[in-house]
Amino acid sequence: MAPRNWSRRLQALGISPRGDPMPLSGGDIAAVWALDTDRGRVVVKRDDASRLAGEAEGLRALQAAASSLIVPEVLGIDDDLLVMQALEPVSGGRQADRKLGEGLRQLHEARGETHGWEVDNACGPTPQDNTPCDDGRVFQRERRLLPLGRACAEKGLLDTATLEALTRVAEELETWLPNVRPSLVHGDLWSGNVLHTARGPAIIDPAVYRHYPEVDLAMLTLFGSPSAAFFEAYWDGDSPEDWPRRRTLFQLYPLLNHLLLFGGGYRGAVERAIDDLR
């Protein structure tokens, strides 16, 4: 069901609807519609106002940094409504994967001085603490792994032994993971948040912050994997020797988030990742 007074609210944003909104599938967290307007076809998303504000800020940050990736333009935001440019997907392929790899490498060249972000946002419905930190190992431990691990344990989804093992993994990051100058990352770059369009690869639904660039690569390979052409373009040479270990580390946070959101079906994957990192 469309939001109440949606037409009036869009017109207040300078957007004149032409027809009625059409529900889109896949809105597990937010309700989403497509709509024809005087500014072209748009997507209207309804969700918690603070989450939408974070998404809008993230889209603008990505658009400013990733000139070779397509990022939907934010056309307006009004409390619990976000209006964005609609993207028309087409089939991908080796060339599309290569362009995605090149574009993501360019995005990750946008660097900051501290890990985190200026404001908190959310990864799906889960609040994401982005309080800046000079050390990426500390950020990963204190803002990502341990808060999610404790939240899972409080819901009975992790037992004491597994939480203790996770804590040891988090406390030993300094023994193998170097600190780096952080990159801008999409933050939730699973395959469903990548679209191929006639103009090139596009990324949607961000949860941005600055951290290790492998955050995005790990998420892309968590529920599938792009082709070899993607990695050839992204690495532009050989991958780092410790890439498999970094991949496991940076998959642990989204696995914990899935465990928290969707339950015990993800417990085994969390336990295996912890075991691989010990």
As annotated, the active-site residues are: 188
3-state secondary structure 103-140: HHHHHHCCECCCEECCCCEEECCEEECCCCECCHHHHH
Using an 8 Å Cβ cutoff, are 201 and 100 in contact? yes
Using an 8 Å Cβ cutoff, are 70 and 201 in contact? yes
Q: How far apart are CA 138 and CA 174, in angstroms?
A: 9
Q: How far apart are CA 144 and CA 252, in angstroms?
A: 9
What amino acid is encoded at 118 in this protein? E
Considering only CA atoms, give the Rg of the chain: 19
Q: How far apart are CA 46 and CA 81, in angstroms?
A: 5
Q: How far apart are CA 219 and CA 212, in angstroms?
A: 12
Q: How far apart are CA 202 and CA 204, in angstroms?
A: 7
Q: How far apart are CA 33 and CA 184, in angstroms?
A: 29
**Degrees to nearest 5, angle at CA 193 with 206 and 127:** 35
